[in-house]
Amino acid sequence: MPFARLAAATTPTAHIGLGLAAVGRPGYLTLGRDRDLPAERTVDALRERTHELLDAAYAQGVRYIDAARSYGRAEEFLGAWLDAHPEADDLVIGSKWGYTYTANWRTEADVHEVKEHSLAMFESQRAETDALLGRHLDLYQIHSLTPDSPALRDTALHERLARLADEGVSVGFSTSGPGQADAIRAALEVRVGGEPLFRSVQATYNVLEPSAAPALAEAHDAGLTVIVKEAMANGRLAPDAAPEVVRGIADAVGAGCDAVALAAVLRQPWSFVALSGCVTAEQLFSNLHAVTVDLTDEHLATLVELAEEPQAYWSRRAELPWG
């Protein structure tokens, strides 16, 4: 299991991962991204930025990297960096299939990605990922599983994914939307040959949207590795946008709002990896301070009060611009 390798890592920051969603393509829905990336978002410019972040992350002890087929050229950028850094063989690499990137390297597009959870899509995207990441890939996840996804009921797909696990690549899924808890619980019931299919779950969890927490605890208890994405709520918990409550706690503990948001995730007993979605090295360094933030029970109780209704949270997320 690749996560056994990650569990054995001795760097304090090993359980903060680097997500490449915001740097593998020119458009993404994160507040402040316009300010933090070059005005000319060419392929070369974002490749250079991605490699800068990978350099910094590895040097700072980050040991999990997250990509996806729909993250523009993220897998391409990552694969090239890995090939040039054989010393980084202790990294755990995860990617996802199930969405096709359709924006054609534009920040403004009617549709940025198209979802399909079929066996044919898996076979197609598995070949594409293999060409870019090859032996580096440790974890392959169904991208944004929802309760109505056919991937929950497609037994032929399940059998194919089980063969992927036999080839040494762990099988997981990610979730999105207000029905995350239902999707997680449904996925826990999927079995092949009497054995659970999925070995990991990647879900959105943050102080504004904590609704998946009970289901994530159940997944952890069932033996799945839990990866948390969007810990900073697509920039809504960043220093220049965070609620006053988060700012107050950040001042009290001497850290940034982003570090507080990530620390709140790391404090959850079921959380194994929390992803940073940074786009600058400065943001990465600030995020990594989360491992030094000592949140009290009183701090955590105060943060609980920020929780929004899931439907309202996800509606607001859908309204964020692809900047």
Kindly report the number of other CB atoms within 10 A of residue 193's CB atom. 8
Given pLDDT bands bounded at 50, 70 and 90, which one contains residue 321? Answer: confident
Q: Is the per-residue pLDDT at 260 higher than 80?
A: yes
- Residues 151-161, mean pLDDT to the nearest whole number: 98
Q: Are strands 195-196 and 191-192 parallel, antiparallel or unpaired?
A: antiparallel
Kindly report the number of other CB atoms within 10 A of residue 289's CB atom. 19
Q: What is the pLDDT of residue 110?
A: 84
Greater model confidence, 240 or 136: 136
**What pairs with residue 228 in β-bridges?**
203, 274
The tens digit of pLDDT for each residue in 63-111 reads: 999 999 999 999 999 999 999 999 999 999 999 999 999 999 998 888 8
Q: What is the pLDDT of residue 38?
A: 87
Given pLDDT bands bounded at 50, 70 and 90, which one contains residue 6? Answer: confident
Put simply, whether the predicted model's pTM sits higher than 0.95 gets the answer: yes
Q: What is the pLDDT of residue 323?
A: 74
Q: What is the pLDDT of residue 208?
A: 98
Token pair for 216: 């994530």
- Residues 8-23, mean pLDDT to the nearest whole number: 94
Q: 60 and 291 in contact (C-beta within 8 Å)?
A: no
Q: How far apart are CA 77 and CA 79, in angstroms?
A: 6
Q: Is the per-residue pLDDT at 33 higher than 90?
A: no
Q: How far apart are CA 267 and CA 219, in angstroms?
A: 17
User: Up-side HSE of residue 103: CA atoms within 13 Å toward CB?
Assistant: 22
The 8-class DSSP code of residue 109 comes to -
The tens digit of pLDDT for each residue in 158-187 reads: 999 999 988 999 999 999 999 999 999 999
- The residues near 230 (Cβ < 8 Å, ≥ 6 apart) are 204, 205, 206, 209, 275, 277
- Residues 40-62, mean pLDDT to the nearest whole number: 97
Q: Which of 252, 241, 238 is nearest to 282 (CA)?
A: 238
The tens digit of pLDDT for each residue in 189-219 reads: 999 999 999 999 999 999 999 999 999 999 9
Which range is least confidently modeled, 31-40, 82-91, 214-223, 258-267? 31-40
51 backbone φψ class: left, alpha, beta (φ>0; ψ -120 to 50): alpha
Q: Is the per-residue pLDDT at 35 higher than 90?
A: no
Token look-up 């523009």 returns 72
Average predicted confidence (pLDDT) for the chain: 96
Q: Are strands 191-192 and 113-115 parallel, antiparallel or unpaired?
A: unpaired
Q: Which of 71, 66, 161 is nearest to 113 (CA)?
A: 71
Question: Phi then psi for 266, rounded to 5 degrees?
Answer: -60, -25
